[in-house]
Structure 1
Amino acid sequence: MEFRFYDPSNPATVTNGHLPHWEQENSTYFITWRTADSIPREKAQYWTRQREQWLRTHAINPTDPDWRKKVENLSEDLRRELRRFSRFLDDEMDSCHGECLLRDPDLSRVVADSLHHFDGERYLLGDFVVMPNHVHVLVGGMDRGSMQLQVTSWKRWTSLEINRRTGREGRLWQTESFDHLVRSQSAFERFRRYISDNPAKAKLREGEYVLWQRR
């Protein structure tokens, strides 16, 4: 396996919707998911409404399950503009709202071990960081559908195991995850830097996070 980046001149499949979208196998993604209590509800709702309004302004229905695919047809300038909303949410997560259960090394290791489990078999694992209330990971070797199923599997298994270890009940992770198709080597390196810099940005101490970097 190797990390491959989106090549619009070499499509593999096409899906039809509001806009046609070429999708390729063996793509590379930057993925984020967060705990259910990681952002105060009012703030999460506010930025979600702002993002939905932006998407509708650019002829993308935010209720469409495939809206992220359509985003990839936008220009780089527009995609960069949309990423502002992710940065606002990231800043909120780095403020460590909620229980921040993953500050506990034993619990963050549950997440890290789950990411490593099928590395080289189902996917190629890139750099990742497990923060107190969210996860950032680079992963390659899958089409989007397989990637989304794998994220669901990671979240389901870690939720069950962490709830078992802590004696808690209920939802651990926010239902929605965020993914970005990595379009180039330079974008890949930018995401790697983002992952490695995240603990310092959130002012975490050693032992309050798990950072793994593929060599």
Structure 2
Amino acid sequence: MQKHKKLPHIDADGYYQFVTFRTNDSIDAYIASLLTSTNLKSSHKQYKIDEYLDNSKNGAYLTGGVLTYLYDFLKTNDKTTYELISFVIMPNHLHILFKQIKPISQTIKSLKARSAKEINLLLEKSGKFWASDYYDKVIRDDEHFAKVYKYIQNNALKANLNINERFYSIYT
């Protein structure tokens, strides 16, 4: 059996990145087992995690006022933190497509830290809000870009959520 190592995050300044991160409370035993699995390719593992999270109520804080805040927050970082293409905010995770203008680790750390502080205030919570890790994938070509964009666009619809309040795109 071939073991799959955890792949490093790839910094590709000027390239498009597809990033997913989730709320800390969305990580349950099933997600934890997928995250530590060595039997699945990274992309297949992420697909199974997303599919599960789309139907899970664990850590589903990204609704109501938190959803409105996060939607506006992600848009206000356009041109300073990244060049935003699109995003979708699911109840317990989000997907974002952007062109990288800063190191990926710095971008994600900034987004998570600044948004977590405000979201915890909105929810009257404290402590860790976002899960530690994130999934990122450098976009390889136009076909890959289109596939990722369509995935982001359809994610809320697939989970029977209102796309108008959760999906953003520079193309709409």
Q: Please classify the TM superposition score into its range, dividing by the shorter chain length.
A: 0.7 to 0.9
Deviating more after overlay: 81-90 vs 176-185:
81-90
Q: Which residue does the alignment assign to 1:4?
A: none
Matched, 1:182 2:139: yes
Q: Unaligned stretches of 5+ in structure 2?
A: 1-9
Q: Is 1:33 the equivalent of 2:36?
A: no
Task: Choose which of 99, 104, 109 in structure 1 pairs with 2:68.
Answer: 109
Quote how far apart the aligned CAs of 1:193 are: 0.5
- C-alpha contact 2:156 2:166 (8 A) present in aligned 1: no
Contact kept in structure 2, 1:128 and 1:195, CA below 8 Å: yes
Q: Which runs of 5+ in 1 are unaligned?
A: 1-21, 55-80
RMSD value, Cα: 2.0
Shift of 1:158: 1.1
Once residues 152 and 26 of structure 1 are traced to their aligned partners in structure 2, the CA distance between those partners, rounded to angstroms, is: 18
Which of the pair has more CA radius of gyration? Answer: 1
Structure 1 residue aligned with 2:32, among 37, 42, 45?
Answer: 45
Instruction: Answer yes or no: is the 8 Å Cα contact 1:39–1:97 preserved in 2.
Output: no
Q: Which residue of 2 aligns with 1:152?
A: 109
Q: Is the 8 A contact 2:24 2:59 kept in 1?
A: no
Segments of 4+ moved more than 6 angstroms: none
- Structure 2 length-normalised TM: 0.85
1:33-91 deviation digits (Å, cap 9, x = unpaired)? 00012242x112221232x355xxxxxxxxxxxxxxxxxxxxxxxxxx53111111001
Alignment match of 1:142 (pick from 94, 101, 109) = 101
Partner AA of 1:188 in structure 2: F
Say whether 1:214 aligns with 2:147: no
SS at match of 2:17: strand
Task: Work out the CA distance in 2 between the residues paired with 1:168 and 1:141.
Answer: 31
Residue 128 of structure 1 is matched in structure 2 by: 87
Counterpart of 2:158 (choices 195, 201, 207) is 201
Report the Cα offset of residue 206 of structure 1: 5.8
Identity %: 24
Q: TM-score, normalised by structure 1?
A: 0.69
Aligned residues: 162
